[in-house]
Amino acid sequence: MDRQTNRHRRLLLLAAPLLASAVGLTPAFAAQARPARPGTAPAAAACELLVGGSGKPGGDARYKLHLGGFPANQAVRVDGPKTSFRATVNGKGQLDRQGMRHGAYTVTYKAAGTKRDVRLTCAAAPAVKTGSGKQGVKVSKVEVVVLTPPGTVIDCAKPTTAEFDGKITATGPGKVRFHWTFGTSSKPVSPGSADFAAGTTTQALLHVADVPARPNAATVSVYVTLHLPDQKMSARSGPVTFTCQK
């Protein structure tokens, strides 16, 4: 009997350190398994207005409003130029809204655990203009060459046409807008644009001008002008002189 009792005592002594270790580890495992407290902001909330796309030609660019660092699924109210809306950030505390106007924006939300309003002023990128057609391209030369042979005989009682070749030399990349005018008229005709790749290249622009009938005339002389409105450059052709049939 004494031998069996002593054996039990030895087993208890050996098991005691193991039990103590198990008891000591239990709180650590419990803390590790404890879920994170919902609604806690991962970082300082902030918002920013970024350039996010082009608007109408010659007008303001469209922008993207970015919110970050908010509590997950936080309800917010955004106020800005000609707009006011409510939204909810995603599970990462972020929200992106495209197509915004440039200007001052504020974001209002409730502080965690209180009914107090928190208001943020969004940082904004400088306003930019888009669609002007310049895009960094530099035009070094513009000229117009007459293609219709001089002295061409026509029936001046009927309308005819005259052909010209406009040439634009530019260093890209970028787009160059152009239009033509006929004779002394200032009315733009045949508007278009030429796309230039990187480097310096020359593009040819064929232009066929309508020449109205001039009955009883001995000769008809016409000219055209090629205009680049964004660069404020132009080039006038030489005259095309037709000989009227007798």
The CATH number covering residue 159 comes to 2.60.40.10
Does residue 177 sit in the same domain as residue 92?
no
Last residue of a domain, one of 62, 89, 124: 124
Residue that wins the pLDDT comparison between 240 and 44: 240
What would the pLDDT profile of 76-86 be if each residue is shown by its tens digit? 999 998 889 99
With H, G, I as helix, E, B as strand and everything else as coil, classify residue 113.
coil
Q: State the pairing for strand pair 46-53/62-68.
A: antiparallel
What would the pLDDT profile of 179-211 be if each residue is shown by its tens digit? 999 999 999 999 999 999 888 899 999 999 999
Does residue 146 sit in the same domain as residue 87?
no
Q: Are 125 and 50 in contact (CB under 8 A)?
A: yes
Does residue 163 sit in the same domain as residue 229?
yes
Beta-carbon contacts of 106 under 8 Å, excluding residues fewer than 6 positions away, are: 78, 79, 80, 119, 120, 121, 122
Bridge partner residues of 193 (DSSP): 177
Burial class (CB in 10 A: 0-12, 13-18, 19+), 54: middle
Does residue 199 sit in the same domain as residue 240?
yes
Domain of residue 75, residue span: 46-124
Is the confidence at residue 157, as pLDDT, over 90? yes
What is the number of domains present in the chain?
2
Does residue 115 sit in the same domain as residue 148?
no
Q: Tokens representing 103?
A: 């200007």
CATH number at residue 112: 2.60.40
Beta-carbon contacts of 57 under 8 Å, excluding residues fewer than 6 positions away, are: 130, 131, 132, 133
What would the pLDDT profile of 6-52 be if each residue is shown by its tens digit? 555 555 555 444 444 444 444 433 433 444 344 444 458 899 988 76
Q: Is residue 56 part of a domain?
A: yes
Is the confidence at residue 153, as pLDDT, over 70? yes
Q: Is residue 32 part of a domain?
A: no
Q: Is residue 185 part of a domain?
A: yes
- Cα-to-chain-centroid distance, residue 174: 15
The Cα–Cα gap between 225 and 43 comes to 62
Ranges 9-18, 134-143, 147-156, most confident = 147-156
Q: Is residue 24 part of a domain?
A: no
